[in-house]
Each structure stands twice: as C-alpha cells, then as structure tokens.
Amino acid sequence: QVQLVESGGGLVQAGGSLRLSCAASGRTFSRYAMGWFRQAPGKEREFVAAVSGSDGSTYYADSVKGRFTVSRDNAKNSVYQQMNSLKPEDTAVYYCAADNTGWVRPNYWGQGTQVTVSS
C-alpha cells in the first residue's frame, strides 16, 4: 500500500512559478514510476509528466514541455514538479500518482492540490 500526499499548490500570476511536492508512504516507493496528472473544471484528467522508478527517465505532455520539470528523491520517498512560466490554462487540480502498470491504470492516487494561474 502506498499513500500519496501532495502539497505546494496555490494562486500565482501568469508567468510565475510553483513547485509541487508529493510525499509517499511505504517501503517500495522506488519500484513505482511516479507521475503528475491534472484535471481542469469540466475536463477529463490528463497526463502532465512522469519519472520512471528504474533509471529516472522523464516524460512530459507537449503542453508543458520546456516549462515543467519532474524529479524524484527516492531517499525521501518524494516526487516534485517544478512549474515555470505558468499560464492560465495550467489552472487545474494536480494529482500525484504511483504506477507499475505502464500507466494503463495507476495503482495509487493522491488527493490533489489546486493550482490557479491568474491572467
């Protein structure tokens, strides 16, 4: 069992930055790929970024490439997402997820943290 708790969301002006954190419980954290998803009002949840558990490879949605950076610290059972040059369209609830299914169906989800970008 893995429990995920996100933090770091908030209100920021367009062009600003935020850093999201996700703290995971459990001893098997390094075995999971970790990812960030987001869901805006009236829209489906979408993939944002992920980092593998094996070699730290990172993956990004085209919409955030070059602006967001995902990283993990296995010693701290944590994953992070640095978000720069934020845009109003980045406004959403951001969820942390842990996965060992090839992202077919992530095993665990956090409760989400709100990010609001004002224009």
Q: Are strands 10-13 and 113-118 parallel, antiparallel or unpaired?
A: parallel
pLDDT of 6-59, one tens digit each?
Answer: 999 999 999 999 999 999 998 788 899 999 999 999 999 999 999 998 788 999
* Furthest C-alpha separation in the chain: 42
**Where does the pLDDT of residue 1 fall: very low under 50, low under 70, confident under 90, or very high at 90 and above?**
confident
Report how far Cα 49 is from the mean position of its chain's Cα atoms. 6
**Where does the pLDDT of residue 84 fall: very low under 50, low under 70, confident under 90, or very high at 90 and above?**
very high
d(CA 77, CA 7): 14
Task: Please name which of 41, 26, 33 lies closest in space to residue 77, comparing C-alpha atoms.
Answer: 26
Give the Cα-Cα-Cα angle 59, 103, 12 (nearest 5 degrees): 55
**What are the structure tokens assigned to 119, written together?**
């224009």
Helix, strand, or coil (residue 78): strand
φ, ψ of residue 104 to 5 degrees: the values are -70, -50
pLDDT value at position 54? 79
Q: Are strands 10-13 and 18-24 parallel, antiparallel or unpaired?
A: unpaired
